[in-house]
Amino acid sequence: MEFSSLMFLEKSPEQLTRRTKVDRWILLALRCLALLLLALIFCRPYFKSSTFLGDGGTGTRTAILIDRSASMQRDGLWEEAVELANETISKTGADDSVSVSVFGQQLETVTDSENTVGWTGPARKAELTTLLADSKPGWSSTDLGTAISELADETSSESSEGKDAFAKREVVVISDFQDGAERDALAQYAWPEDVSVRCLSVAPKKPGNMTANLVAASITQDSQKAGPVTRRVRLSNSPDSEGESYQLKWAGEKDGNIAEGILSPGASRVVAVPPRESESEDAVLEISGDAHSFDNKVYIARTQPRLIQILFIGEDPKRNDVGSSYFYLARAMNRTKAIDPAVDGVKYEDFKPDTLKTANVVVVQLSENTPEAITRSVGKFVEDGGMAIAITGEGAKAESLSALSGRDDLRLAEADVSNYAMLSSLDFEHPVLAPFAKAKVRDFTKVHTWKHRSLTIPEDSETVKQLADFDSGDPAWLEINRGEANGRLFVFTSGWEPQESQLALSSKFVPLIYAMFAQAGYSATEARPLYVGNPIPLAGIRDAKTVKLPTGDTVSLESGSTVFADTNEPGFYTVATSTVGEERIFAVNLTPAESRIEPVDPVVALGDLGVNIEAETAEDPEAAAALAGATQEEIKKQKQRLEAKEKEKRQKVWKWIVLAILIVLLIETWLAGRRRTGVAEPEGAAFAG
């Protein structure tokens, strides 16, 4: 290409081009490390462990767990479970450690691993046969989650033998794995990595099950006697049932009193129960039409409203005087299907301490003329575990209230009320006020109080609970606990008659008094159903001495017992007192969930909750073929490969590598951002808008 002369241009000095060099070594290293870690993830690294290869330990730590809940009473299940346990034990060697436990609602140890150390399989099998010879399924529900988690803690290397004592640790669960089994405890349990679970299922010889559960009972009543009871039960037929016909009848009654029907497999229905011939006796409702009888009975105790003797002590209690607190209390107490209250009034001068022996609840109205002997006697009644209600009338003395409560730090004076006082700061979390917690019934603004007392209580008092205050801040209703027997004293700082307040005329009065009675064990509503394992409440049963079991045996109660916990089977439990002829009968039934016998897949049900389910390699056709005809050395190597594969599956090192990549990238991003923000702008640079 032709170009003009360059003679008039100055020659530029030659400059060497600067070679490229690394300015940020740390940033480069971080980026390279991230790439290396990313490549390592796809390599799926596996690190060998002596735990599986037998270098650090020998033998297997095996914990056998056998289900003995009520559903295992089905034909052939328990015998099959024991046989599976025998087969598992017979395969153990002298280097293995074996323990056997059974479970229902609670875990029970049959034999500890230390009892058979060094034994061979046949010797352990003989020992188990002896221990389980007299054992049989119970009546409790199935709490699989709690049992398996407790046994996993015992089997884990963290709480049992040394970390390298065994090459393998496993829990063998033998159960029917029914749908009604509780598994919630596993949801919050961190399963130990060195413990695996092997599930062995048992199945009944005959499929299907039909069950009945009491769901409702209504009673027609008047003020004098109870009327007929209408009951309803929920019938359920399992999906695998082969029968559809059922019969409902009362055991021991005439055959004509039967309800029959058709219930398809997998269906559920609520039906009415045939009426009983008499409600004065205990009864058993039976359902027939299925192959399993363990859950075919519903126990129903006789109608037995509890007689409650309420003693009202006042200066001049008049039953027909509309200005008397006694008048409103007597009319508030009505017979229900749970209690039959009787209210008696006694004057101060007619009171005798012996009258408290027959009283269940004492209501005392305090005035300036209340004798000290009365307050001391009622205070002793509360200290011994009784319940009393104190109404502080005009002129009531602090000494009277102190004698009732056993506290000398109470101060009582007449309050200065302008117009009227209103209730405020009600504690709806307290059991007495809990029935009023709903929005439609929690309004107490219409209850006006014309007169009330001002009660001063030390702030650090732990035995005093304020249920409600007046808008002035003075306590209105209080609960004071006294004595080791936890006696209760409820205090009203105002009377409930019209000249003191509008409480007795409001719709809140009757449920409020009934709620206070319920705290002493005299609930006006029917008690909740009792199931096997639920304790029988003894509150309100004074001087309970013995409990007669469904088997006919009698158990003595310790003095001051508040519950009886040994409800190990369904049936009728009779609580007798020191009073001749006075007793209470409680019906205990099978837990409804125990009748949900549909089997579930334990691998899915337990695996979803984090349980380490062991792969059944013995059932794998390819593994069995590989081991068939192989020498002992080949079998050992094959087992090591299978164990290494399982170990690699458990390690999940890639999770930690992903975490390392995230950390490296976070540091790299931070450093790169710091580099950009640290570069100064060129001199003279301007922002062009």
| 294-345 tens-digit pLDDT | 999 999 888 777 788 899 999 888 888 888 899 999 999 888 877 888 899 9
CATH architecture designation of domain 210-301: Sandwich (2.60)
* Predicted local confidence at residue 679, as pLDDT: 53
Please tell me the distance from the alpha carbon of residue 47 to that of residue 442, in angstroms, as a whole number: 66
Q: Which of 536, 561, 423 is CA-nearest to residue 485?
A: 561
| 372-423 tens-digit pLDDT | 999 999 999 999 888 999 999 888 998 999 999 888 888 889 988 888 999 9
629 band by pLDDT with thresholds 50, 70 and 90: very low
Please say whether the beta carbons of 107 and 100 come within 8 A: no
Q: Kindly list the domain boundaries of the chain, sorted by start residue.
A: 50-203+599-615, 210-301, 306-519, 537-588
| 180-197 tens-digit pLDDT | 999 999 988 989 888 899
Q: What does the buried/exposed string (b/e) look like for 354-387 if buried means 16 or more CB atoms within 10 Å of the residue's CB?
A: ebbeebbbbbbbbbeebeeebbebbbbbbbebbb
Neighbours of 253 (CB within 10 A): 15
Please tell me the distance from the alpha carbon of residue 389 to that of residue 378, in angstroms, as a whole number: 10
Residue 221 pairs with which residues in a beta bridge?
Answer: 226
**For residue 521, which amino acid is it?**
G
The CA distances from residue 227 to 331, 370, 451, 527, in Å, are 21, 43, 43, 19
10-14, 27-31, 79-83, 258-262: least confident range? 10-14
Please tell me the distance from the alpha carbon of residue 226 to that of residue 213, in angstroms, as a whole number: 24
Domains 50-203+599-615 and 306-519 in one fold: yes
* Predicted local confidence at residue 243, as pLDDT: 83
CATH T-level topology, domain 50-203+599-615: Rossmann fold (3.40.50)
0.95 surpassed by pTM = no
CATH architecture designation of domain 306-519: 3-Layer(aba) Sandwich (3.40)
Please say whether the beta carbons of 530 and 586 come within 8 A: yes
